[in-house]
Amino acid sequence: MSPSVRRHALGIVALVLLAAAAVLLLGVAPGLDKNLANMYGSICLRIGMTMGAAWLAFPQIMALTAYCSPKLLLTLAIGLVVVIVRPKAFPIIALLVAAVVVLEVLGWMLKPLRSSDKPPKHRSIDK
């Protein structure tokens, strides 16, 4: 799937979630308890807004994936989902993500330039 198709799909899903949030929060959905409709509406609203922001930032996200490791991106994604679900957990999640970022940078800095199992290449001087 090409990046433009992914971006369009992300935008469509965000719009569908925002429309579902509007229906649920305005009380148009028949047969649902008001508290349940408010809960599902707020969930759809949060996820829809987050996906809309991801749709807007899609080119920058694609550029970020070229530079970051998959472990770091997975940590950021899980942290974002936890913060969306439980906003009071932000300080803990921020510390965990910062620790992963520090470990990734240290791992990158301490990585040897060439693998130790390969002998160094010597230049032969032909006379």
Q: Taking 60 as the threshold, does the pLDDT of residue 127 lie above it?
A: no
Give pLDDT tens digits for 32-73: 888 888 999 999 999 999 999 999 999 998 887 787 788 888
Non-local CB neighbours of 97 within 8 Å, separated by 6+ positions: 75, 76, 79
Q: 13 falls in which pLDDT band (50, 70, 90)? A: very high
Number of domains in the chain: 2
Q: What residues make up the domain containing 86?
A: 68-112
Q: Taking 80 as the threshold, does the pLDDT of residue 111 lie above it?
A: no
53 and 2 both lie in a single domain: yes
83 and 40 both lie in a single domain: no
| Tokens standing for residue 6 | 């992914």
**Inside any domain, residue 117:** no
**Inside any domain, residue 3:** yes
pLDDT of residue 43: 93
2 and 42 both lie in a single domain: yes
**Residue ending a domain, choose from 65, 84, 99:** 65
**Residue ending a domain, choose from 65, 80, 100:** 65
- pTM confidence score: 0.61
